[in-house]
Structures are given as C-alpha cells and as structure tokens.
C-alpha cells in the first residue's frame, strides 16, 4: 500500500491510533481523523518525525458537512483516499426500556450514519482509480448482542449489513469492503470496567486474555493490503474466541 492514502476515523487513541501506526508502517500516507485536535496533532507529528507522511484531519462524525470537508481537504493535500477505516464510535449505555431517544440517535449518528457518509465521500475517487479498501470496525456485540447496549449493538450490527451491501455494489470496481469485529480490547472505552467484570469476561475468552489494539490493527492492515484482494463482504472476528 506504498503511496496510497489511508483515512482513519477515531484515530486519536485506542484501536484507531493502532490502525494509523500499522498502515503507516505498511507504507501508506495516513490522515488521522477525530475530534481531539491535540491528540491528532501529536500522533501525526510522531509519524512525521519517523519520516512518514501523516496529516491531522479534525472531524465531527455527527456532522455531514465536517465529514465532507475533512475528506475533501485530505484528498486535496494527500491525493485520493484509497483506504478508509471507519473506526469512530461512542457508547451511551442503558436498558432499552429507559433509553433516551437522544442517546439512541447520537450513537446511531456517529457509529453508523457517520461511517456511511464517509463511505459516500470516498467512493467516487475509488471508482475512478478502480482500487479501494473500506474497512468498518464493528464489534463482537454486533453479532452476539449485549444487554444495556441496544443502541451500540444496533449500530455495530448495522455496520455489518452496510459492509455487505456496499461490497456487493462495488465489487466490479475492484473496491473491497470488509468489517473487523473486535472482542473485548484494552482501550479507553473499556478502561472503566471493574476488575471483577474483566475477570468474568476472561472466563468466556478461550485465549484467556483481553485483546490489544494492535491485534485489531493487524487485521485491518491485512484487509487493506494487496494480499486481501479477493476478500470482500467478510466479517473478520478478532475476539480471542469469545464468539464463534
């Protein structure tokens, strides 16, 4: 993927940051996109200090205008986006019976609609180039379900459906669209979990460890590569065997 441009959302920390590092290691020019400008600038600066090509792309995934602007500016500065990693996501957990519509709407808007809008923005250039890799970061709960996360589960299951639909639409243009479904991974999102809950999770993970962001990034790097050219519409589970 040397000299191809990768655009990674939710890249300021956790899985997104690990994906940016992995794709940069593989030779891609990376645009790191998120809301936290300071963290983005630090990451882009770190990569440039290593002789890599990287740019910070501030973005608000709930804003169609922001998504359009960030992707257009990146394409202008870095060339057409060939690899899109839709990683940005939030949680607003609560039992369905008491979930506020606002909490439902916010999670769907950022996790699912934002990913769709980003895909829309990158497809024209990918179609012109007749090459593209779209990788959507779903979740184990998008396949298994999870109590107290109806909005998050729906958004992540929606990403799997979106992946398969766009894969079928774009296959003839040599654009592959896949999803990666992480299990429990040590990130900012899971840091608040109690040790008791983490121990309980480990009982159900055959590999007996919590995942690392780098585990997920390795799968993303593979799906973005030439070696994965004949894989599309696939959901790659990176969950230690938690869900099979």
Q: Verify whether residue 152 is a known catalytic residue.
A: yes
Q: Are 30 and 8 in contact (CB under 8 A)?
A: yes
Which of 159, 45, 62, 42 lies closest to 105 in space, CA to CA? 62
Q: Are 70 and 33 in contact (CB under 8 A)?
A: yes
Q: What distance in Å separates the CA atoms of residue 235 and residue 166, rounded to the nearest whole number? A: 13
Radius of gyration of the chain (CA): 17
Catalytic site residue from 152, 184, 230, 243: 152
Catalytic residue numbers? Answer: 152
């Amino acid at each position: 993927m040397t000299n191809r441009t990768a655009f990674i959302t939710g890249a300021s920390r956790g899985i997104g940051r690990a994906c940016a590092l992995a794709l940069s290691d593989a030779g891609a020019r990376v645009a790191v996109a998120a809301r936290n400008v300071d963290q983005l600038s630090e990451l882009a600066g770190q990569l440039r200090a290593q002789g890599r090509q990287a740019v910070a792309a501030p973005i608000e995934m709930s804003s169609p205008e922001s998504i359009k602007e960030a992707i257009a500016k990146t394409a202008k500065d870095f060339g057409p986006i060939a690899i899109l990693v839709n990683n940005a996501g939030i949680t607003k957990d609560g039992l369905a019976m008491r979930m506020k519509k606002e909490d439902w709407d916010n999670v769907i808007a950022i996790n699912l609609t934002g990913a769709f809008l980003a895909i829309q923005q990158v497809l024209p250039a990918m179609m012109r180039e007749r090459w593209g890799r779209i990788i959507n970061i779903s979740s184990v709960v998008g396949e298994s379900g999870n109590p107290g996360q109806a909005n998050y589960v729906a958004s992540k299951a929606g990403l799997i459906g979106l992946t398969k639909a766009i894969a079928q639409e774009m296959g003839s243009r040599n654009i592959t669209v896949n999803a990666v479904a992480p299990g429990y991974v040590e990130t900012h999102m899971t840091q608040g979990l109690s040790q008791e809950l983490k121990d309980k999770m480990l009982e159900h993970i055959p590999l007996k460890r919590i995942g690392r962001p780098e585990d997920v990034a390795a799968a993303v790097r593979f799906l973005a590569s030439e070696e994965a050219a004949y894989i599309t519409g696939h959901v790659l589970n990176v969950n230690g065997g938690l869900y099979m």
